[in-house]
Amino acid sequence: MKKIPYIEDYAIFEKIDLKTAEELLVEYNDFMVFNKTQVRDLGVPASDAFQPPPEETEEDALKRIEHNKQVAVNHFETLFGSKDIAESSLVGLRIDYDSVQKVLLDERLNKIPITESAFNQIAPTIRAASSVLLLAERVVSDLQKFAAEGKGSEKLALAIEFAKEGFELLLDGVAKGNLAIPEYHIIRREINRLKTVDAYIGFCEKLFFDNRDC
């Protein structure tokens, strides 16, 4: 297993048992609910360019504060509110929530808002890992179904090996923090249209070679 920041465990090329997947999804949902409250309480700071004018009324001040709180929540949801992270519970993605939570609590003590948080680097890595794992399981399992259904070809074994090696390399890139991976939920329709081994090979080539290490 590749060592990826803030990730404790995962399965690759296969799904885990449903009970464990449900437990992981509950952990993710609890993390989202709890921390939306945390980041909302802190809000975002008013920069020098947006200092309230002296004539600001109490009502206007309350509206501004409420707006800043909502901006903070929206930013947090943009970072972590991912369908891929949620569904990656099916492939056993176990996030180190204790370490993630420590970052948030430390920043809260130092009054660092979510818009300036280390989460802006942490979340993309977790999201990318989620997407790679979901794509890897889907592509490899689809190719393996071809073999099970007797739809194989001379290329099938090579295609599976190629896919596995490619996704392993993508995970290496994710671990280094230098890959931007398309989200599984965004491109799953493209995968649904793949009907042949050659089509899957073409899809993998595009995915792997468009996401080389920077």
Provide the residue ranges of all domains of the chain, joining segments of one domain with +.
7-209
Answer yes or no: is pLDDT of 28 > 70: yes
**Residue 13 Rama label (left phi>0; alpha psi -120 to 50; beta):** left
Answer yes or no: is pLDDT of 47 > 90: no
Q: How confident is the model at residue 48, as a pLDDT?
A: 40
Question: Residue 206 — pLDDT band, cuts 50, 70, 90?
Answer: very high
Pick the residue with more confidence: 23 or 114?
23
Q: Which residues contact 171 (CB under 8 A, 6 or more apart)?
A: 2, 4, 12, 129, 132, 133
**SS3 assignment, position 47:** coil
* Of the listed ranges 30-39, 51-60, 98-107, 146-155, the one predicted with least confidence: 51-60
**SS3 assignment, position 56:** coil
**Percent of the chain that is helix, strand, coil (3-state, to 5):** 70, 0, 30
Distance between the two ends of the chain, CA-based, in angstroms? 22
**Rounded distance between C-alpha atoms, residue 23 and residue 42, angstroms:** 29
Q: How confident is the model at residue 95, as a pLDDT?
A: 97
Q: What is the pTM of this model?
A: 0.89
High-pLDDT (> 70) share of the chain, %: 92
User: How many CB atoms within 10 Å of residue 114?
Assistant: 28
Question: Residue 2 — pLDDT band, cuts 50, 70, 90?
Answer: confident
**pLDDT (average), residues 129-137:** 97
| Structure token digits, residue 54 | 């002296």
Q: How many residues does the chain have?
A: 214
Mean pLDDT of the chain: 89
Residue-wise pLDDT for 86-105, tens only, equals 999 999 999 999 999 999 88
